[in-house]
Structure 1
Amino acid sequence: MSLLRLLVEHPSSSEDPLVHTLDRSLTKGEVLAAVETRAGDFSGLRGQLSPVVADGVEALIAMFACFRAGAVYVPINPRQPQAAVDDITRAMPEVASPPDAAFVLWTSGTTGRPKPVVHTHDGYIEIIDRVLEPLRAKPKDPARPPSPNLIPVSMALNAGIYNALFGLRAGARLVMMDGFDTAAFAMLVKRHQIRSTVLPPAAIAMLSDDASIESLAPLRYVRSITAPLSPFQTRRFTDRFGVTVLNGYGQAEVGEVIGWTADDARMHPGKLGAIGRPHPGVAIDIDDPDSDGVGELLVKPPSTAADLDPRRLTAGGFVRTGDLARIDGDGFVWLEGRLSDLINRGGHKVFPSEVEEVLVAVPGIREAAVVGAPDSRLGEVPVAFVVGETDSDLGEVCRQHLVAYKVPVRFEFLDRLPRSETGKVLRRELVAQP
């Protein structure tokens, strides 16, 4: 099944508004006509990788135009630095795509150069349906249409593409932003009566910091995406706006595999710091757990990206995620950080997220990242990089809340933390700093 059908078979009539932005709306008929026109640019490219530098509605139309022409969509964010664009174009000739390839995404590049991830039409529909299935099972009010899907992230990212296609598959209208702005976000939420949406951690922090935003009503739920959200930022956002923040978990190669349902959120409010429970059809396990049950998270979804590295598969068919986690007695998964980020200080494990949570709770500290620095005696020692201003003695604060071996040996103040396009901290750049 081609992903193009999600647009063509959307329940809206050709005269109904289907895609909204801050300053315009397009009917389904207008979107289809634009797709048909744009498809001419990809004629003769069936099965070939077709890079598109665009965002917002233009990217949405270009994506479906590629599907219409049978080309393989390769999104490129126009806001990316030229060096990143060059990396993608250089890597394209090496990308092998199957006959039913739909588009090529790129990993976040937190541990090296971004790698291509090829998704097929059928495989990506399964990725959408595994999350949509519990929602379809709930009774619906035929007089109440689905809440519009607000997409506040770039359409060059998996998060943008996924949420656009998810919304169309659910029969919802799309509300799109061309770059995130707090005032525009609040206005669109109110104008379109958005009840649930997604936000990356950086956007959540921006909204919490913006004193001019008085309300986000009728917003009830926000799913945090693209990068880990600290419990401190979660509490801050919820206390400010009365909106429940739900974490989720996925990777470009496997889609979203763990998340929250509204029922779980109501029944288990004390577990909202977890990333949720596995979606239908997804099996999970913990590899080599320690005495606290923490080990590498393994996932086994019904489908994965077409070019998943076979070295990541266990003998049982599970995918190694590279993330540390534990599973509690109710089946909720608690993320502890990246396996590669774990600091081994003379045999003692230091989880950076635990130290970072202490630091961002200090008034004046907006962000923190803790990395392991080489040490001739202990192997590694934790070093903290912080953004903000404070008169507090950060070492003393850490000693009050952490055991001694988890206290950073030094604190470096930065104007900002280096981040990938998806908002993840580029820890390798911090490690490289003298």
Structure 2
Amino acid sequence: MNATARGAQVALVCEGRTVTYAGFDALVERVAAALQRDGVEPTEVIAICAAGSIDYAAVFLGALRAGVAVAPLAPSSSPDALAGMIDNSGARIAFVDAQARELLAAAKAPPPVRMIALDTPDGYDTWLAPPGAVAQCVEIRPEWAFNIIYSSGTTGAPKGIVQSHAMRFAYTRRSLERGYGPGAVTLISTPLYSNTTLVSFFPTLALGGTVLLMPKFDAAAYLELAERYRATHSMLVPVQYQRLLAHPDFDRHDLSSFVGKFCTSAPFAAGLKAEVLRRWPGKLTEYYGMTEGGASCELCADEFPDKLHTVGRPMPGHEMRLIDPDGKEVASGEIGEVVGRSPAMMTGYYRQPDKTAEAEWYSPDGQRFIRTGDVGRFDEDGFLVLMDRKKDMIISGGFNIYPSDIEQVLMQHPDVAEAAVVGVPSERWGETPVAFVRLKAGALRAESEMLAWGNERLGKLQRISELVVVDALPRSAIGKVMKRELREGWVKNV
């Protein structure tokens, strides 16, 4: 539709390459025709593992046009994890770049998959159907898989999260309320294998806007692109907001074109939200939810500046409840695990019915909810206050300790840029908190003094047993702090 209505409009810009809607539509058609030529049937799966590019986008949308589901995979995966995801997806074709090829070559059991190089002249360009090729029309069914998003694997083997065409369509329709449309210019600097990215990427193209695609985030380049192309929308993770606001040239750039800025995927500190509101024009919206779906919360930070410590209220049509370890709902105002249901729920984990069952909770009246693994409470206005991941909660001497409470105290220290707290084994208490902090530039390494400073301000049961200064906190490609690595590294070095 956009190719006909606005064929001359720019659809995507990436590293100096520009493609119009008409040109992109023709490229997508050639991909769909090539997949059909190679016998890839509707409801089958292809995999993509590469840095973001216009060709990556064309393969993704071309597969969808042919009724084929897409498994976009992280190039940051380990060799065996990447091979396992391709094997689990059942993909017979994988579109890869040099990094992915090296990873698969190093895997203990490389999957039996045909690889098509997206970054070599004799790969993708040769594979494509010829210019002018027309794909056979496929009638897409709402329940068909649109994509399979694999979890990061930070808490075990990656699981394939199946999202349907109906789910993507519902989210795109809802995006009209967020200012997406033909005038939208969306700057994307998170990877295309992440649902964080796709919830901005697809609505922009479906509703006729322009996507500015950054294969790799760089604060200086981001600010330059935003100003030059008059960006209106952007989905960023908290660490990106932090790096952008810390850039010495941030306030010299004209960012007045922004209509909406969004954030998800990791805890977004209240102080950082306040700084974004103060220094960056346009609305700021935080989303809390899971790739698996369930329910999501929305915090319109500019409308509720007194609720920045929360993640907002459940979105319209979304239902959230809090349950105790026995699966019973907790009383109003009490803390419990967040479970949710909405039209945007995953079908299940791909080919893992046991894992799907573990992620589900059924209410007494038989309604299906998805467990988040997060612990929180609702305040008197219905805003959700997150405490922590259930798996990250520390049980010390029989008492529950929430690392986020300790982290918030440490972040008040004038020398602390970031803080992460984990529970480690303790003979006396079962578990005890250990803090890892990254200092601001120029700050001195005064670990013992900082430990004493923190413990003076913490409750007796919360006190930290050790504080470690680190150069950087380990993060996933989407910006989540990988606490398991911190915990395992500490135990290994004791």
User: What TM-score bracket applies, with the shorter chain setting the length?
Assistant: 0.7 to 0.9
Choose the corresponding residue for 1:294, options 311, 323, 335: 335
- Structure 2 residue corresponding to 1:42, chosen from 24, 32, 35: 35
Q: Secondary structure at the match of 2:244?
A: helix
* Residue of structure 2 in register with 1:3 after alignment: none
User: Residue 30 of structure 1 corresponds to which residue in structure 2?
Assistant: 23
Residue 254 of structure 1 and its aligned partner are, at CA, apart by 0.5
1:41-80 pair list within 5 angstroms: 41-43=34-36, 44-46=39-41, 47-54=43-50, 55-78=52-75, 80=77
Please list, as runs of the form range in 1=range in 2, the aligned pairs for 1:118-197 lying within 5 A after superposition.
118-129=162-173, 131-132=174-175, 134-135=177-178, 146-197=183-234
Deviates more, 1:36-45 or 1:117-126: 36-45
Matched, 1:374 2:425: yes
- Which of these residues, 300, 312, 318, is aligned with residue 359 of structure 2? 312
C-alpha distance in 2 between matches for 1:232 and 1:290:
30
The one-letter amino acid of 1:401's match is: R
CA displacement 1:387-417 (0-9 Å, x = unmatched)? 2353552222212321122121001222322
C-alpha distance in structure 1 between counterparts of 2:452 and 2:387, whole Å: 24
Conserved 8 A contact 2:294-2:371: no
Residue in structure 2 matched with residue 426 of structure 1 by the alignment: 482
Paired residue for 1:365, among 410, 416, 424?
416
Give the CA deviation at 1:50: 0.8
Aligned residues: 415
Alignment of 1:352-431 (within 5 A): 352-388=403-439, 389-392=443-446, 393-431=449-487
Structure 2 SS opposite 1:318: strand
Work out the CA distance in 2 between the residues paired with 1:240 and 1:266.
12
Match of 2:25, as an amino acid? L
**Residues 222-259 of structure 1, C-alpha deviation per residue, up to 9 Å, x if partnerless?**
32222112224334444554666432112111077211
Q: 1:108, 1:69 → 2: CA distance? A: 28
Is contact 1:250–1:256 with CA below 8 Å preserved after alignment?
yes
- Offset, 1:135: 4.7
Q: CA deviation at 1:383?
A: 0.7
8 Å Cα contact 1:12/1:28 also seen in 2: no
RMSD, aligned CA: 2.8
Q: Aligned with 2:152: secondary structure?
A: coil
CA distance in 1, matches of 2:15, 2:67: 31
Point out the more displaced range, 247-256 or 28-37.
247-256
Q: How far 1:21 sits from its partner (Å)?
A: 3.1
CA distance in 1, matches of 2:263, 2:313: 15
2:294 and 2:369 in contact (8 A); partners too: no
1:204 aligns with 2:260: no
Are 1:213 and 2:250 matched, yes or no? Answer: yes
Gaps spanning 5+ residues in structure 2: where? 93-141, 325-329, 350-355
Between stretches 413-422 and 61-70, larger displacement belongs to 413-422
Provide the residue aligned with 2:159 in structure 1: 115
Match of 2:386 in 1: 335
Q: Determine the C-alpha separation between the residues in 2 that align with 1:10 and 1:293.
A: 52
* Pairing 1:227–2:281 present: no
Q: Closer, same or farther in 2 for the Cα pair 1:73/1:337, shift >3 Å?
A: same
Superposed CA offset, 1:322-359 (max 9, x none): 11121122222122110111111112221111111222
Q: CA deviation at 1:165?
A: 1.0
CA distance in 2, matches of 1:106, 1:252: 9
Identity %: 27
Partner amino acid for 1:109? G
Q: Which has the higher contact order (CA 8 A, sep 6+)?
A: 1
The alignment partner of 2:361 has SS state of coil
TM-score where L is the length of structure 2: 0.77
Distance 1:14 1:240 in 2: 36
C-alpha displacement of 1:9: 4.6
Q: Is the 8 A contact 2:273 2:308 kept in 1?
A: no
Residue aligned with 2:200, SS: helix
The aligned counterpart of 2:314 is 278
CA distance in 1, matches of 2:193, 2:247: 26
1:70 counterpart letter in structure 2: G
